[in-house]
């Protein structure tokens, strides 16, 4: 079986523009971007991980030291930086849409995929909610999710309802849409 797989043509993809994944935490942004990156031979980055490496601190430490406004300022700087790089798949933090400036960067710099999920479904997907302060109180998570819905919709070029779908299915839907839009070009080598 392994031998046969090595004979399959390797897929090499190219992105015409950056692709930004937005949505509430637990929507599958990072998982879908990684799956798509592997399948299509393109680069992906998780914005929060990139931000943590760049700053040398965890997101929760930045929040604790600089507050939400301080974190959001760094997040905007990182978003601008990633938007200016060679096009790649970027999984954004759930709150990236809160700032007007970020929504403008998302709209102007790339193609935005909104992975839609309810707070209840998101909670069921997250195995360890201790790293997700919003999920310490499901009512707060629901309220936050509802507040962000119009902001996600505002920036979205493509909206995919993730309810009841696995990562592979969502990644295939995104891939198909990106190819149709001319954002993703694939070559078999």
| Element containing residue 19 per DSSP (H, E) | strand 19-22
Among candidates 104, 53, 49, 56, which has minimal Cα distance to 76?
104
List the beta bridge partners of residue 187.
Answer: 12
Q: What is the mean pLDDT of each run of 10 residues along the chain (189 residues)?
A: 52 90 92 95 95 93 90 96 95 95 96 92 68 68 90 97 93 96 83
Cα gap 71→61, rounded to integer Å: 10
Residue set of the binding site for ATP: 26-31, 132
Residue set of the binding site for substrate: 48, 72, 94, 148
Count of structural domains, the chain = 1
The answer to whether position 133 is within a domain reads yes
pLDDT for the residue numbered 141: 82
Q: What is the pTM of this model?
A: 0.89
Residue set of the binding site for Mg(2+): 30
Residue set of the binding site: 26-31, 48, 72, 94, 132, 148
Range of the domain at 96: 18-178
Q: What is the CATH number of the domain that holds 108?
A: 3.40.50.300
The answer to whether position 7 is within a domain reads no
DSSP state of 10: P
List the beta bridge partners of residue 159.
Answer: 114
The answer to whether position 10 is within a domain reads no
């Amino acid at each position: 079986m392994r031998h046969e797989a090595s004979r399959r043509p390797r897929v090499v993809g190219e992105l015409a523009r950056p692709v930004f994944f937005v949505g509430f935490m637990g929507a599958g942004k990072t998982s879908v971007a990684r799956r798509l990156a592997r399948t299509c031979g393109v680069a992906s980055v998780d914005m929060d991980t990139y931000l943590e490496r760049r700053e040398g601190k965890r997101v929760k430490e930045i929040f604790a030291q600089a507050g939400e406004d301080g974190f959001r300022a760094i997040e905007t700087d990182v978003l601008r930086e990633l938007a200016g790089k060679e096009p790649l798949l970027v999984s954004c933090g759930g709150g990236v849409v809160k700032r007007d400036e970020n929504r403008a960067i998302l709209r102007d710099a790339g193609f935005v995929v909104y992975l839609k999920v309810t707070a209840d479904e998101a909670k069921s997907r997250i195995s360890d909610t201790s790293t997700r302060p919003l999920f310490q109180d499901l009512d707060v998570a629901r309220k936050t999710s509802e507040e962000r819905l119009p902001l996600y919709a505002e920036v979205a070029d493509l909206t995919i309802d993730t309810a009841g779908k696995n990562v592979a299915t969502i990644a295939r839907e995104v891939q198909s849409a990106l190819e149709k839009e001319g954002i993703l070009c694939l070559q078999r080598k």
